[in-house]
Amino acid sequence: MEKKLLCYIALGFCLGYTGTDVLAQGRSTDPRQAPTETSSPSERQVREGETATPLATKTGTERNEMHLVKVAASESQLSTLNSMLDHADLKGILEQGGPYTIFAPIDQAFEKLSSKQVETLLKAENKDKLRAWVAGHIVEGEYQVKDLQDGQRLHTITNQELLVQRNADKVTIDGIEILDADVKASNGVIHVINAVMLTREQKEQEAKRRRDDANMLKSGKRGMSKP
According to CATH, the topology of domain 2-196 is FAS1 domain (2.30.180)
CA distance 22 to 10: 10
DSSP for 140-202, please give it: ES---GGG--TT-EEEBTT--EEEEEEETTEEEETTEEEEEEEEEETTEEEEEESS----HHH
Tell me the per-residue pLDDT of 194-207, one tens digit each, with 9 for 90 and over. Answer: 999 887 777 777 67
CA distance 122 to 88: 9
pLDDT confidence of residue 35: 40
pTM of the shown model: 0.66
Whether pLDDT at 49 is above 90: no
Sort 21 into a burial class: Cβ within 10 Å, 0-12 / 13-18 / 19+: exposed
Element (H, E) at 139: strand 138-140
Tell me the per-residue pLDDT of 86-114, one tens digit each, with 9 for 90 and over. Answer: 999 999 999 988 899 999 999 999 888 87
CA distance 37 to 21: 14
Stronger pLDDT, 180 or 5, i.e. the higher one: 180
Question: Using the 8-state DSSP alphabet, how is residue 54 labeled?
Answer: P
Tell me the per-residue pLDDT of 121-147, one tens digit each, with 9 for 90 and over. Answer: 888 898 998 999 999 999 999 999 999
pLDDT confidence of residue 221: 60
pLDDT confidence of residue 123: 87
DSSP for 75-97, please give it: -GGGHHHHHHHHHTT-HHHHHHS
Stronger pLDDT, 10 or 123, i.e. the higher one: 123
Over residues 70-93, mean pLDDT: 92
pLDDT confidence of residue 201: 76
**145: phi then psi, degrees, rounded to nearest 5:** -60, -35
pLDDT confidence of residue 163: 95
Report the interhelical angle of 79-87 vs 127-135 (nearest 10°): 130
Report the interhelical angle of 2-10 vs 79-87 (nearest 10°): 130
Q: Could you tell me which residues come within 8 angstroms of residue 182 by beta carbon, excluding any fewer than 6 positions away? A: 144, 145, 189, 191
pLDDT confidence of residue 117: 79
